[in-house]
Amino acid sequence: MDVFTPTERSRIMSKIRSRGNAATELRLIKFFRANKITGWRRNQKILGNPDFVFRKKCIVVFVDGCFWHGCSQHSRMPRSNRSYWLKKLRGNKKRDQKITLFLRRSGWRVMRIWQHELIVKNKTRLLRRLKFISS
């Protein structure tokens, strides 16, 4: 049971700002550079705030965290406040689907990379997925 009222909890939580997924983005930047994948930009004003944008090729890349985006292999539901987390994570997945669909209909190629794909030692599978960008 929470010691704060829902209104107070909401006010407190609204003050917490995200630090982004800088570590995973930096891993992907390192991967791009190591494999000579160029032409990407960050912080572009495109719906959904993709992590990387290849404007000339009309490609956007999202790096999805395993927990926040509901990875079937690694996401574990917290034991407390399950109804909140179920709703939150389902909402994240639904939002991702809507953004992907919108961007594809707008002419963008959308690529989503899981956080765990950047952690594994052998990244040949990821490189195969990204080859169309560098060609």
Confidence of residue 21 (pLDDT cuts 50, 70, 90): low
**Is 15 or 5 the better-scoring residue by pLDDT?**
5
- List Cβ<8 Å contacts ≥24 apart for 50-59: 50/103, 50/110, 51/21, 51/25, 52/25, 52/28, 54/133, 57/109, 57/133, 58/107, 58/108, 58/109, 59/108, 59/109, 59/110, 59/111, 59/133
Confidence of residue 18 (pLDDT cuts 50, 70, 90): low
Residue 104, pLDDT > 90, answer yes
Identify the pLDDT of residue 134.
63
Map out the domains of the chain as residue ranges.
Answer: 19-134
**Which CATH fold would you assign to the domain 19-134?**
Endonuclease; Chain A (3.40.960)
pTM, entire model:
0.78
